[in-house]
Amino acid sequence: MATLRTIDDLDACAKRVLVRVDFNAPVENGVVTDDTRLRAALPTINHLLDQDARVILMSHRGRPAGKGYEEDFSLAPIARRLEELLGRPVQLAHDVTGLDAGGKADDLKPGEVLLLENLRFDPREKKNDPTFAAELAELADAYVDDAFGTAHRAHASTTGVAKLLPAYAGYLMKREVETLTGMLDAPERPFVAILGGSKVSDKIGVIDALLDKCDTLIIGGGMCFTFLAAQGKGVGTSLKEDDWIERAAQMLDRAREKGVDLLLPVDVVCADRFAPDAKTLVCGVDDIPSDMMGLDVGPRTCERYAEATAQAKTVFWNGPMGVFEMDAFAAGTRKVAEAVAENEQANTIIGGGDSVAAVNKFGLADRMTFISTGGGASMELVEGKELPGVAALRS
Ligand code: ADP
Ligand code: MG
């Protein structure tokens, strides 16, 4: 595969560098409540500032209507938090590619930082409109893409601008792509993949791809019930996708043919309804009552999954083992998260929005080798798709 051009290949001194970041951070009452995404972009921004570049940052945030400025979606709170993190002023343009942005970009001196307003105030961003990409490119001499989380979408600020300016991957983009492709291309073995979450249908591409790569595939979460149904078990009122039972059965066969050890739960935590205070029952997978739903994997399953995880040299985990948002059904996800954290000999890679939230909730984030910042983007990459935002940076 063609190599990724990275920020290390760019001499940024005094240049105007347009940087696509993912500053889609939660804001409450005008204050950023979780600055993880801002921090993730700091190595790239600081590197450019060290080189005395003129740094022009751009991002989307939330889902504005795409009809111009909306105060609720302004990047003003982001600019304020970023000033604190960088320890220097961050100017905010009051438009995206209008007179204010153009003027401020022109006046920018080496070592100064400008943040454009929310890209999605302009309807042309998501349409990947070439006129918008051209207006963005007009602001700068070079382009750096550090927004891995948006790399699976071809938008004007990603693939559009990358065609018009010399384009490079930032450090976050580079690390995401190298870690995830490295895991797929040359994993240290045994490679244990742990998949959970809600539906088989959401993850079918990921399961398919991992079946070709891993030695052990552990399945939990809502999706396990479609697999159990494929084995002819009754799963009560658990989440089950009838249209996917056949496909799940084929995957069980494929795992057998490929010699992949596919692990399914042996026991589950059932509930009489989907609620934190539901009546619960732990039972074997052959004894799920017809009027109850499985909302977590059971304790014997946790032990088996932890044992398998402890053998691994590479672990990829996506998708919680149960409804971890409710304490009564969080134990399976917590146990698996702990088992992954405790395996210090392995490269441990976590992907997916809710799995990452779970790891954070249990305070285990800093014990993992790598936590992907891109939910959808990391899933598509694991599925083996070439992401348009990444392809645009290869040569
Ligand atoms: P990720 O964001 O990590 O890729 P998903 O979005 O696929 O994960 O799935 C996460 C959701 O799956 C969580 O909201 C969780 O409550 C739900 N879930 C997990 N196990 C079950 C289950 N047994 N029944 C219903 N929902 C489940
Ligand atoms: Mg999710």
pLDDT tens for 87-136 read: 999 999 999 999 999 999 999 999 999 999 999 999 999 999 999 999 99
- Ligand with the closest atom to the CA of 356: 1
Report helix, strand or coil for 236. coil
Is the pTM above the cut of 0.75?
yes
37 carries an active-site annotation? yes
Separation of 202 CA from ligand 2 center, angstroms? 10
Query: Taking CB atoms and a 6 Å cutoff, what residues make up the pocket around ligand 1?
Result: 196-198, 202, 221-222, 239, 294-295, 318-320, 322-323, 325, 352-355, 375
CB-facing half-sphere around the CA of 99: CA atoms within 13 A: 0
30 carries an active-site annotation? no
300/287 Cα distance (integer angstroms)? 14
What are the Cα distances from residue 393, in Å, to 105, 126, 170?
24, 19, 10
List pLDDT tens digits, range 255-291. Answer: 999 999 999 999 999 999 999 999 999 999 999 999 9
Separation of 322 CA from ligand 2 center, angstroms? 12
105/2 Cα distance (integer angstroms)? 33
344 and 335 Cβ atoms separated by less than 8 Å: no
What element of type H or E holds 106? helix 99-107
- Classify domain 7-173 by CATH number: 3.40.50.1260
Neighbouring residues of 80: CB distance < 8 A, sequence distance ≥ 6:
32, 90
Give the type of residue at 109.
Answer: K
386/318 Cα distance (integer angstroms)? 19
Q: Which range is least confidently modeled, 129-138, 235-244, 373-382? A: 373-382
Q: Please say if the pLDDT value at position 378 is more than 90.
A: yes
pLDDT at 1: 63
140 and 166 Cβ atoms separated by less than 8 Å: no
Separation of 41 CA from ligand 1 center, angstroms? 28
Q: Which atom of ligand 1 is nearest to the CA of 296?
A: 23
Residue nearest to atom 7 of ligand 1 (CA): 197
Separation of 52 CA from ligand 1 center, angstroms? 45
119/140 Cα distance (integer angstroms)? 16
- Classify domain 180-383 by CATH number: 3.40.50.1260
24/78 Cα distance (integer angstroms)? 9
List pLDDT tens digits, range 153-205. Answer: 999 999 999 999 999 999 999 999 999 999 999 999 999 999 999 999 989 99
Residues of the chain with CATH 3.40.50.1260: 7-173, 180-383
The fraction of the chain above a pLDDT of 90, given in percent, is 96
199 carries an active-site annotation? yes
What mean pLDDT do residues 220-235 have?
Answer: 97
Q: Please say if the pLDDT value at position 395 is more than 90.
A: no
